[in-house]
Amino acid sequence: MHISLRSGEKIYINGAVLRVDRKVSLELLNDATFLLEAHVMRVEDATTPLRQLYFIVQIMLMNPGDAAAAQDMFAKSIGATMETFDHPDVKTGLQSVEQLIRGNRTFEALKSIRTLFPIEDAILAGARTTAPIQAA
């Protein structure tokens, strides 16, 4: 697999953080778990249920040493997140994420959660624009 990085960009490979000082192309010759900097969520950005779940799964991928603790957090969080949403696409997506994690397909689970962000954003935007009920 070939990966191209720009100067100053980071890549997370098997728990290690690499930053390149110039434009570079990497070729991974064996199986490796990696995450590009553009897909890394900062803790302060994990402000919604799906983003919090994404952050937990990200920890599982980026820090294999803490994967067991993150898996425990995931197990607690996935149920609560499913209860948060009534939207059928979100529920189906979360069931898929749970299956991917059980199958040790963490990267695919991250991608799946990311596809749910626009739905969550729309739900939250609708909740923010709904006028409160006024007493007569």
pLDDT digit string, tens, across residues 9-18: 998 888 788 8
Map out the domains of the chain as residue ranges.
2-38, 41-129
Residue 136, pLDDT score: 47
Report the SS3 class of residue 41.
coil
What pLDDT score was predicted for residue 132?
54
Q: Do the bridges between strand 2-5 and strand 16-19 make them parallel or antiparallel, or are there none, so unpaired?
A: unpaired
Separation between Cα atoms, residue 65 and residue 7, nearest integer Å: 28
**E strands within the chain?**
2-5, 10-13, 16-19, 24-27, 34-36
Low-confidence ranges of the chain (pLDDT < 50): 130-131, 135-136
Nearest-angstrom CA–CA distance, 42 and 70: 16
pLDDT of residue 16: 84
What's the gap between Cα 37 and its chain centre?
12
pLDDT for the residue numbered 81: 93
What is the reported pLDDT for 99?
96
